[in-house]
């Protein structure tokens, strides 16, 4: 556990170090360019004043953009709010002397678009690339009562499970409420549950969460709503 934390801490420290270096360089760049622009804008030469005005109008945010873009490069994995919150808790535990380790097994990726998109764990391709023998099962939201009542039947739920024991290793959803529905799938992946665990869990009706249950039934070869 501590080795994982040490490896991550080293990677994170390197990321912070690089970010600070680039931030300092961007600050120096801003000061130098800002001084030059100030000189150009106060120049008696019309062409120089025009160049200064163009920079202020179109390029003044470039240093900030450099910092933001580099931040996304040096941060391990994804620069997500929930990931940062999780890492903060791990860091606090480590500082207080408790045994702590970083585990990115189930890192949510959520897009609050219309429709919403959410992904937990591995995609089918990622699982196969890791040598897992898996199968992806998809359930259309058109078969979910709550989605129909909301008149938002576009989308689907997909579970990626191992073929032999049906253990859930990944879940994706496109559709209404995806950011909330997929939290249950995240728990299932983190706990090492199989499709039967979800299928045998009674879900309220009508609810969007039933779509996950229906997908799990599909994994078991016993779908009743498609």
Q: Is 155 left (phi over 0), alpha (psi -120 to 50) or beta?
A: left
Residue by residue, what is the 3-state secondary structure of 79-133? Answer: CCHHHHHHHHHHHHHHHCCCCCCCCCCCCCEEECCCCCEEEEECCHHHHHHCCCC
Polymer length in residues for the chain: 226
Angle in degrees, 0-180, between the axes of helices 210-219 and 178-190, rounded to the nearest 10: 50
CB 175 within 8 A of CB 142: no
Q: What is the DSSP letter of 57?
A: H
Query: Which has the closest alpha carbon to 226: 108, 137, 150, 120?
Result: 137
* Positions marked active-site: 205
């Amino acid at each position: 556990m501590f080795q994982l934390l040490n490896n991550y801490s080293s990677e994170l420290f390197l990321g912070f170090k690089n970010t600070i270096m680039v931030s300092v360089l961007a600050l120096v760049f801003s000061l130098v360019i800002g001084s030059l622009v100030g000189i150009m804008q106060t120049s008696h030469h019309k062409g120089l004043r025009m160049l200064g005005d163009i920079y202020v109008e179109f390029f003044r945010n470039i240093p900030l953009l450099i910092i933001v873009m580099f931040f996304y490069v040096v941060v391990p994995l994804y620069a997500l709010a929930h990931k940062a919150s999780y890492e903060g808790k791990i860091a606090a535990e480590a500082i207080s002397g408790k045994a702590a380790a970083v585990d990115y097994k189930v890192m949510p990726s959520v897009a609050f678009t219309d429709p919403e998109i959410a992904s937990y764990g591995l995609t089918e391709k990622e699982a196969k690339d890791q040598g897992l023998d898996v199968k992806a099962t998809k359930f259309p939201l058109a078969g979910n009562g709550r989605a129909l009542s909301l008149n938002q039947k576009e989308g689907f739920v997909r579970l990626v499970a191992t073929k032999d024991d049906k253990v859930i290793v990944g879940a994706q959803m496109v559709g209404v409420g995806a950011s909330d529905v997929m939290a249950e799938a995240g728990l299932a992946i983190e706990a090492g549950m199989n499709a039967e665990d979800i299928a045998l869990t009674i879900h309220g009706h009508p609810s969007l969460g039933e779509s996950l249950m229906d997908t799990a039934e599909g994994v078991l070869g016993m779908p009743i709503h498609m």
